[in-house]
Each structure stands twice: as structure tokens, then as C-alpha cells.
């Protein structure tokens, strides 16, 4: 992986252009599904409600080479949350997985709390129309906080590998007040669960699988894909506090590989890529996508993806 030929395409979806007139901003955590004649990219946008952002899942279609959008951006359709439900205040991210004729999505639901800004949990939705509309699988989450994982269970992505479903996700370890702003900030780490069924998952163990390289590192958005030797992962990482303005400690892309899914070797070679205007201050919320001749990394740049998402091709 590290010595592959790389092309940086920069921004391929501009939210200012594609979401103009909708009242929506941001196009976060792009995650794509390949169909016969097009590629459907799911992402999350936000609207303003009562002085707070609410995140909603969206999709847009691209040509099969991911050169340009061939559809408008549209909201993903699904039923509203119940009152008091785990995703009452938004969904981000939205992680699709094609299994046969169905498209599943692992969602992260947000709900606002009083003593901390938010709590999250992982839900499951199912689509039989290629991802235009989804049915909720149950009214509550399929993965939630548990004995050793006290809060902020989120960012699930599932890969079907070696005849089992592998979920890579986050669990929160700490809430810390930012010394400069006093605002509570989150620390989370990447975890791993294995199951024979897509909706029943074992209890998390609170064991981080990716070693940290900075103190109180917050890791996010793991995206895992198989390769010839096992699995590889792209994710993002930052300091726990003072990371919102860009500069050292703000989000950058990490990389790790594993032969068994349990034990991972970290090698953040992505950090050596040159930066462009799109990602001059931060790089975050990545996902892998396999095309015929290359593996692609879709990701967000500055301002946590406010302005759209971009792409890097890793040629085989």
C-alpha cells in the first residue's frame, strides 16, 4: 500500500454548488456503493435548528470513474425518530453495506444530553431500492454503551470478511473540558466486533485496537477494506482539545493494516501527502472504495467537510 502511485483529485463534490438553495451545509463522511452504471455516494449534511446543527443522511450519484456528479444531492428517506429515541437529534455518519440485493446502513444516532452535549449509539436501516429509502431495523440501537464502554459508541462501519461480519466502530473514553474554551470535548478509540449476523453483536470490551501516537488521541471514522494480506484501515485522528481551528493536532488521516482484524500495525503514510486548498488545515472522515483499477480514499478537508468532499486514487 505504501508504495502505490497516488493521484490527488482534490474536491469532487462542492457543497456550495450542489446544496445551494437547500438550506443545507456540509457533506461529511462520504461512503460509496458501486452499482452497475453509477456510484452512489452517501454523506451527511446539516441544517440549523434552534441554534444547533442537525445532521441528516444524503446521497448523490457519480459516474463509474467518480469524475463528476450525475444526479442532484437528495435526502435519504426513512421514518422520523420516536420521541426520546437514540437518533432524535441527527444521524452522522451513515455507513452503507451492500449484502446481496439489499443495502444496509449502519447509522450513528445523536441525542442531546444535559450534562454533556451529546450521547450516541449505533443503529441499522435496510433499503431494498438501492438506498433511496430505508426502513428502520427496530426502534432502538443495535450497538449501545456497555459495561466497559460507557458512552459515545458511534462511527460503525461493517465489512463482510472471511465469512463473518466485522464491525469497526468507536467507543468514548473521556470527556475533557477544553482549557481555552471550557467546552467539553470527546475522546474516543477504535474498537472491533465480530458476528455471524448483521444485527446481533457481542458486547464490546473497551479495548482500543489502534495504538495512539499523540497523548489523549481521539480516533474517528474507521473504514476497513480487505486486501491480499488481510485488512487495511483508513481513519482520522486528532488531539482531544484545541483541534477545531486547524494547525497541529487537528484531524489528519491515519492508516493501519492487519492480517487477522485483531492486531493492527499503524503507519500513517497519508500524512506525507501534499496539501491543497481543500485540505490545507485538516483531513478527516475518510472511507475506502474499491474500483476496478484502483482503491480510492474519499474524505473531507477543511472545516470538517463544510465545503464538500474530495478524493485520492491509489493505483494498483
Partner 1 sequence: MIRWNRLGLTFDVSKYRSSSFRISHAQAVASLDQGTHLRLYYSTRPEPDESGAFVSYTSFVDVLPTDPTVVIASSDEPVMELGGRGTFDEHGIYPFSPVVFQDRLIAFYGGWSRPVSVPFDVSIGIAESFDGGVSFERLGPGPVLAPNMDEPFIISGPKVRMFDSTLFLFYIAGSRWVGDPSEREPVYRIRVATSDDGLRWNRLGKDLIPCLDGDEVQASPDVLFSKGKYRMFFCYRNSVNYRGSSGSYRMGYAESSDLINWVRKEHAPVLTPGPEGAWDSEMIAYPHYFETGGSAYVAYLGNGFGREGFGLAKVEFE
Q: How far apart are CA 308 and CA 298, in angstroms?
A: 11
Q: Can you tell me which residue has the cell 432524535?
A: 88
CA end-to-end distance (rounded Å), the chain: 9
**For 35-74, b where at least 16 C-beta lie within 10 A, e where not — what string?**
eeebbbbbbbbbeeeeeebbbbbbbbbbeeebeebeeebe
Q: How far apart are CA 127 and CA 28, in angstroms?
A: 21
**Min separation Cβ 91 and partner 1, Å:** 15
Among 151, 264, 270, 285, binds partner 1 (CB under 8 A): 151
Which residue number, 97 or 124, has a Cβ lying nearer to partner 1? 124
Which residue number, 61 or 149, has a Cβ lying nearer to partner 1? 149
152 binds partner 1 (CB under 8 A): yes
**Min separation Cβ 211 and partner 1, Å:** 22
Among 116, 213, 216, 259, binds partner 1 (CB under 8 A): 116
82 binds partner 1 (CB under 8 A): yes
Which residue number, 119 or 217, has a Cβ lying nearer to partner 1? 119
> Three-state SS for 38?
coil
178 binds partner 1 (CB under 8 A): no
For partner 1, the binding residues in 200-229 under the rule CB under 8 A are: 203, 206
> Three-state SS for 32?
strand
Among 21, 36, 37, 147, binds partner 1 (CB under 8 A): 147
Which residue number, 141 or 222, has a Cβ lying nearer to partner 1? 141
Cα separations in angstroms, 265 against 147, 152, 231: 27, 25, 11
Stretch that binds partner 1, among 3-11, 58-66, 112-120, 222-230 (CB under 8 A): 112-120
By the 8 A CB rule, do 168 and 224 touch? Answer: yes
91 binds partner 1 (CB under 8 A): no
Sign of the dihedral defined by the CA atoms of residues 202, 204, 208, 210, in that order: positive
Q: How far apart are CA 302 and CA 283, in angstroms?
A: 7
**Min separation Cβ 79 and partner 1, Å:** 13
150 binds partner 1 (CB under 8 A): yes
Peptide bond into 145 cis (omega under 30): no
**Min separation Cβ 220 and partner 1, Å:** 17
139 binds partner 1 (CB under 8 A): yes
**Min separation Cβ 285 and partner 1, Å:** 23
For partner 1, the binding residues in 236-295 under the rule CB under 8 A are: none
Q: How far apart are CA 49 and CA 42, in angstroms?
A: 22
Tell me which residues touch partner 1 (CB under 8 A): 82-86, 88-89, 111-116, 119, 121, 124, 137-142, 144-152, 172, 175, 184, 199, 203, 206
Amino acid at each position: 500500500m505504501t508504495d502505490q502511485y497516488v493521484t490527488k483529485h482534490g474536491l469532487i463534490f462542492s457543497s456550495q454548488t450542489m446544496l445551494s438553495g437547500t438550506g443545507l451545509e456540509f457533506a461529511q463522511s462520504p461512503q460509496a456503493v458501486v452499482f452497475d452504471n453509477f456510484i452512489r455516494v452517501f454523506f451527511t449534511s446539516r441544517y440549523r435548528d434552534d441554534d444547533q446543527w442537525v445532521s441528516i443522511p444524503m446521497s448523490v450519484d457519480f459516474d463509474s470513474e467518480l469524475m463528476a456528479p450525475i444526479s442532484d444531492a437528495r435526502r435519504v428517506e426513512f421514518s422520523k425518530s420516536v420521541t426520546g429515541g437514540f437518533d432524535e437529534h441527527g444521524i452522522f455518519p451513515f455507513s452503507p453495506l451492500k449484502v446481496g440485493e439489499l443495502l444496509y446502513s449502519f447509522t450513528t444516532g445523536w441525542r442531546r444530553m444535559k450534562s454533556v452535549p451529546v450521547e450516541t449509539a449505533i443503529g441499522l436501516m435496510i433499503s431494498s431500492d438501492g438506498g433511496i429509502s430505508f426502513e428502520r431495523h427496530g426502534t432502538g440501537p443495535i450497538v449501545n454503551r456497555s459495561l466497559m464502554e460507557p458512552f459515545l459508541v458511534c462511527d460503525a462501519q461493517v465489512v463482510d470478511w472471511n465469512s463473518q461480519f466485522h464491525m469497526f466502530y468507536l467507543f468514548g473514553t473521556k470527556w475533557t473540558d477544553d482549557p481555552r474554551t471550557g467546552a467539553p470535548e470527546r475522546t474516543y478509540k477504535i474498537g472491533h466486533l465480530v458476528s455471524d449476523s448483521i444485527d446481533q453483536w457481542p458486547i464490546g470490551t473497551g479495548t482500543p485496537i489502534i495504538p495512539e501516537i499523540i497523548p489523549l488521541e481521539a480516533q474517528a471514522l474507521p473504514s476497513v477494506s480487505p486486501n491480499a494480506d488481510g485488512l487495511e484501515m483508513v481513519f482520522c485522528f486528532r488531539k482531544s482539545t484545541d483541534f477545531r481551528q486547524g494547525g497541529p493536532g487537528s484531524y489528519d488521516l491515519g492508516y493501519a493494516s492487519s492480517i487477522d482484524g485483531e492486531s493492527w500495525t499503524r503507519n500513517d503514510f497519508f500524512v506525507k501527502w501534499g496539501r491543497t486548498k481543500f485540505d490545507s488545515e485538516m483531513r478527516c472522515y475518510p472511507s475506502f472504495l474499491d474500483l476496478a483499477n484502483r482503491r480510492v480514499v474519499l474524505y473531507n478537508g477543511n472545516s470538517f467537510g463544510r465545503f464538500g468532499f474530495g478524493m485520492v486514487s491509489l493505483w494498483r
